[in-house]
Structure 1
């Protein structure tokens, strides 16, 4: 693409961030409003040049246009906003909110497990954003870690409604989707429903809790994974990660029900159910928690331990942006975050946080730096406690 040209008379491309067979994503400057946006182009000519059938190419155009319509109907802080659509040099594009952060998929690659607090908070936000989409009669149809962005402030943004459809618009069925997170009924070429999205949320929640999806792996044959979704029952998350609250085991079990009618009735209902599991973090005696006086005040009505962990989590994101990840204030905040996580009853989450901190300190300061050694001491201490529970 000629980056010297303004797209739509106002958007100046800067850098290509992602490229695939179906299209490209660029960052761009909105010269009118002075902000950074994401430009998503559909590579229609590329598809044709690669020998794609005309019917398939036109189908992708319709799906791409549908993404713009779908996103325009959803207004929620946990869903990436759409600003504009258009056509440039024969290629369709969508102008979207630029989300600064990393995908949930990238977060899952950084360590063995997410903490329970982050898992609960991010799952609640996923469901709240999805609930807003469903209220606008938009079904995502491709909920997966790669389509869930975590901002630098530590909040969820659902992206990529490229496979979404408007529930009130007649369209042909499609078997598109990502095998590891695809509901059983959709393997029978059904178009899916709101409860198909909830099944995908169950797969994502399972992976957040255990570090693995409930069925298969990226290396497995898709049809083999499909049969697992249709026929197999996964072990509860607590079987892979002792300490997972029974409430979360139960929520996962309901989300992964084979029969859509047996799943929760709405994304908002799941958000409320997940939020109630925070009582596990809040039930402890806060007098035993170290460093409370230095923690930021939590917002909202939740003044318990989970609220304090959430506040400190946000503080870490902010400090990293302001001073960089190797600043001493960031190291100290991450140590405190790990300790609070362990005090909440999530010993394995604390060990995982200390493990990441130890490896980061080795990269920043050298293999024998005292901060790295202290972090690995924290790993051993919380692993011992997890084994004793």
Structure 2
């Protein structure tokens, strides 16, 4: 027997495998084992990876060796260089130089209390090598702590790529290859093994963050087999860990091992992107902005709405036009509105203002400060619609813009007496700044976030539907940063005042709403209520909208002195303004089959009115 680490001591403790002197078993799983050995021929220490079960035939051994040799051709800084591949006493092996480092298991045994930053640094390096291998159609098959090496300098390398397939699977493949040399199942098996690798790396991430193996099982392959679809257990980080875990990182780790298969990371690059996003955010105060800064410089902040050139040209020839009329015209273009706010709140323009005037929160004042020439310059700096977005993403972007405008008009209808409608509209729109930025600059990631937020059918009949993630958790899991913080970082980059940065953060849905003590509080409350109301009518099926709106009224009724009637009538008025302008008449409610889910212009409010009358 090769595994004799628990055997009683013998007069001669030296154990050998062919020419190798076995020094220490560094780790084992159901599929592989790693031995520290001394090689007399080269006079160096090596680490040998072997299958846990000796191959039953020479054909199986040859296939194991073939996969190992194929994988050894890959050259990547995060893949361990292979010294030798061979057979000793009918045991195939892969040899790696011990000088490359210690195993992750050894490092954790020596220092189990890792910082979150170190844990993520190690896992991301392993993912870099793994992603490179997956893109070459090669999977590992048995990512264990004893297959991940860490050097004294902190460089991480994945060892023994391709050695993790069970010998039973190899025997089946050997039989297939005799009958069909070009087996089409190999590519499918490789893709499935790659997905399993990513889930396994999530379990490794759990172990290094929690300081203990998931499900109290050190073999990651066994843990995978206990999760859906093979098992019924689930893995989530405990709240008590050796070191504090930031909420964003916790969301990423929990998504990586969630019991809902559809929510997991199915690609090493997506998990890597989420972890790198978290690292960039944690590294510096403006880390969230670094996700966007390059794209902001190349494609601008938001695109201009269609027809912006003609709109600005009409303003240019209407020198006698009132400023409020100009502002109402510009307000229809979210990109141009934000660009003017950004321009007039920059340090350069603020320096020309009278001290104590505070932030610019209306387009009327912005136009007065920069003049028509400044408006033309702002419009010229915008990319024409839809910027770099392809058609499908442009349509989604337009729906989001309409939804934000609907919320702005709803906030105007709900605002208490004495508050400037334009200020209320812009604060409400700015509460969606992060969502707009993600949809424009990271449309694929925005799609992933929406998918993670969707509920899924129950696994068994009679059970409740599987809930989707919250927007915050989904954004953490995809981008490594929450959308609210991303929007706040952009607003801070624009130079917006601290009072504005406070107001453009939505009220947390899990906390009660208090009666506002200041104007800033009242503007924040009004904007949050309008945004939650629009979320209720755009994110719920018709039969649940009434209950969702009732929750909004319960949260904000006292603070804003509104009833269900006020809210539904405000939404009707907002929809009419969105579709027909400030003087528009509220159109008939469309038949349900005409409405497109999530389209604020076609939301059916008839059910809401009926629920209010009951």
Counterpart position of 1:26: 37
CA radius of gyration, larger in: 2
Question: Normalising to structure 1: TM-score of the pair?
Answer: 0.51
The answer as to whether partners of 2:76 and 2:129 remain within 8 angstroms in 1 is yes
Partner of residue 267, structure 1: 268
CA distance in 1, matches of 2:205, 2:280: 18
> In 2, Cα distance between the equivalents of 1:144 and 1:153?
21
Note closer, same or farther for the CA distance 1:251–1:95 as it changes in structure 2 (3 Å cut). Answer: same
Match for residue 128 of structure 1?
128
Provide the rounded CA distance (Å) in 1 between the counterparts of 2:240 and 2:261. 24
Change (3 A) 1:28 1:244: same
- Taking the aligned partners of 1:26 and 1:86, their CA distance within structure 2 comes to 15
Match of 1:65 in 2: 65
Structure 2 contact 68–160 (Cα < 8 Å) conserved: no
Secondary structure at the aligned position of 1:26 is classed as strand
Aligned residue number for residue 96 of structure 2 = 96
**Mapped partners of 1:23, 1:101: distance in 2:** 14
Paired residues of 2:211 and 2:241 also in contact (CA < 8 A): no
In structure 1, the partner of 2:517 is none
Return the alpha-carbon distance in structure 1 between the equivalents of residues 163 and 143 of structure 2.
10
Contact 2:34/2:50 (8 A) holds in 1: yes
Residues 14-47 of structure 1: CA distance to partner in whole angstroms, max 9, x if unpaired? Answer: 774549897865343776xxx9573748699x95
The separation in 1 between residues aligned to 2:98 and 2:144, in whole angstroms, is 19
Which residue number corresponds to residue 105 of structure 1? 105
Q: Quick one: structure 1 residues 93 and 58, their matched pair in 2 at CA, closer, same or farther if it must change by over 3 Å?
A: same
Q: Larger relative CO (CA 8 A, sep 6+): 1 or 2?
A: 1
> Does structure 1 residue 257 correspond to structure 2 residue 258?
yes
Report what 2:117 is aligned to.
117
Q: Which moved more, 1:101-110 or 1:275-284?
A: 275-284
Structure 2 residue matching 1:250: 3-state secondary structure: helix
Question: Cα 1:238–1:274, aligned 2, differ >3 Å: closer, same or farther?
Answer: farther
Partner residue in 1 for 2:145? 145
Q: Report the 3-state secondary structure (helix = DSSP H, G, I; strand = E; otherwise coil) of the residue aligned with 2:56.
A: helix
State the TM-score, normalized to the length of structure 2: 0.34
Question: Matched residues in 1 for 2:283 and 2:35: separation?
Answer: 44
1:160 matched to 2:160? The reply is yes
Task: Report the CA distance shift for 1:277/1:129 in structure 2 as closer, same or farther (over 3 A).
Answer: same
Matches of residues 115-264 of structure 1 in structure 2 within 5 Å?
Answer: 115-161=115-161, 163-164=163-164, 172=172, 192-218=192-218, 226=226, 230-238=231-239, 240=241, 243-258=244-259, 260-264=261-265
1:102-158: CA deviation from partner (whole Å, max 9, x where unpaired): 211122223442111211110110100111111121111111212111112111111
Q: Count residues in correspondence.
A: 248
Higher share in helix: 2
TM-fit CA distance, 1:66: 3.9
Long gaps (5+) in structure 2: 1-13, 175-188, 287-614
What is the CA-CA distance between 1:195 and the residue it aligns to?
1.4
- Report the Cα distance in structure 1 between the residues aligned to 2:98 and 2:196, rounded to whole angstroms: 27
Distance 1:41 1:218 in 2: 18
Distance 2:199 2:126 in 1: 13
Aligned counterparts of 1:144 and 1:22: Cα–Cα separation in 2: 10
Query: CA 1:80–1:236 in structure 2 vs 1: closer, same or farther (change >3 Å)?
Result: same
SS of residue matched to 2:276: helix
Using the TM superposition, name which of 253-262 and 191-200 deviates more.
253-262
CA contact (8 A) 1:173 1:191 kept: no
Note the C-alpha offset of 1:215: 1.8
Instruction: Return the match for 1:38 from 31, 46, 56.
Output: 46
* Cα offset, 1:271, TM superposition: 1.7
Q: Is the Cα contact below 8 Å between 2:83 and 2:96 reproduced in 1?
A: yes
Contact 2:85 2:94 in 1 (8 A): yes
The structural deviation recorded for 1:75 is 1.3
Confirm or deny: 8 A CA contact 2:60 2:170 kept in the other structure.
no
Q: Deviations over 1:329-379 (max 9, x none)?
A: xxxxxxxxxxxxxxxxxxxxxxxxxxxxxxxxxxxxxxxxxxxxxxxxxxx
Q: 1:93 to 1:202 in 2, by over 3 A?
A: closer
Are the equivalent residues in 1 in contact too, given 2:210–2:242 (CA < 8 A)? Answer: yes
CA distance, structure 2, for counterparts of residue 196 and residue 224 of structure 1: 8
Gaps of 5+ in 1: 48-54, 175-188, 286-389
Structure 1's 28 and 216: CA in aligned 2 closer, same or farther, altered over 3 A?
A: same
- The alpha-carbon distance between structure 1 residues 139 and 160, as it changes in their structure 2 partners (threshold 3 A), is same
Q: What SS is found at the alignment partner of 1:193?
A: helix
The answer to whether the Cα contact below 8 Å between 1:68 and 1:82 also exists between their aligned partners in 2 is: no
Q: Please give the alpha-carbon distance, in whole angstroms, between the structure 1 residues aligned to 2:145 and 2:223.
A: 21
Closer, same or farther in 2 for the Cα pair 1:36/1:238, shift >3 Å? same
The answer to whether the Cα contact below 8 Å between 1:144 and 1:204 also exists between their aligned partners in 2 is yes
Matches of 2:130 and 2:88, distance apart in 1: 31
Q: Deviations over 1:232-260 (max 9, x none)?
A: 33333545467312221221122113454
